[in-house]
Amino acid sequence: MKGNWSIVRQVFQRRFSTLRSSIPSSRSSALSSPVRSLISAPNSIARQSLFTASTIRASRELNFSNTSLLHRRSFCSEAKGENAFVVLKSEEEFATAMSKAQDGSLPSIFYFTAAWCGPCRFISPVILKLSNQYDVTTYKVDIDEGGLSTTMSKSNITAVPTLQLFKGGSKKAEIVGADVAKLTNLMEELYK
């Protein structure tokens, strides 16, 4: 184990010796004290200082400090416009949408999702396309929304994405996971 740390120390000595020679003296005064200690004495590498040093080096080389974050992309792929999902953010909105689905007035899908869920982002455009194709109202429910905690327990949602398909006032099917083929077949069978 001791031999591995000596190899790591040698690698960092080489890296920081090139860093020390590439930083002009006027710029070195702007560096934080842990980084200055790494540059001036590469043999005494502190574990907490490694991340700081590598971050500063990357920001100087790639100029991340001037990068504009005005055009950030959302984690959740939502469509904009009139054919978008109906987003439910409260218990009352969910109860109203569920009563519409259960009275049989219109076919609907409840799409339980999360902003951090990769498969949810994958299947979201497919759900939107199919719901527009079959003229089905799709309600999007974010499981991390604060006002919907009791709704998740009542609906027995254990994984995302979960799709509950309603027709004629009752739940006809439920899909757990991002299975595009199953979703396509079920929607064709139910809503055609």
Q: Is 76 a catalytic residue?
A: no
- Catalytic position from the list 117, 157, 160, 186: 117
> Going edge to edge, which strands form the sheet with 170-176?
86-88, 137-142, 108-113, 162-167, 170-176
Q: Is 117 a catalytic residue?
A: yes
In sequence order, the 6+-apart residues with CB closer than 8 A to the CB of 125 are 77, 79
- Catalytic position from the list 97, 109, 120, 175: 120
| Strand, coil or helix: 42 | coil
The rounded distance, in Å, linking the Cα atoms of 139 and 171 is 14
| Strand, coil or helix: 45 | coil
Active site residues: 117, 120
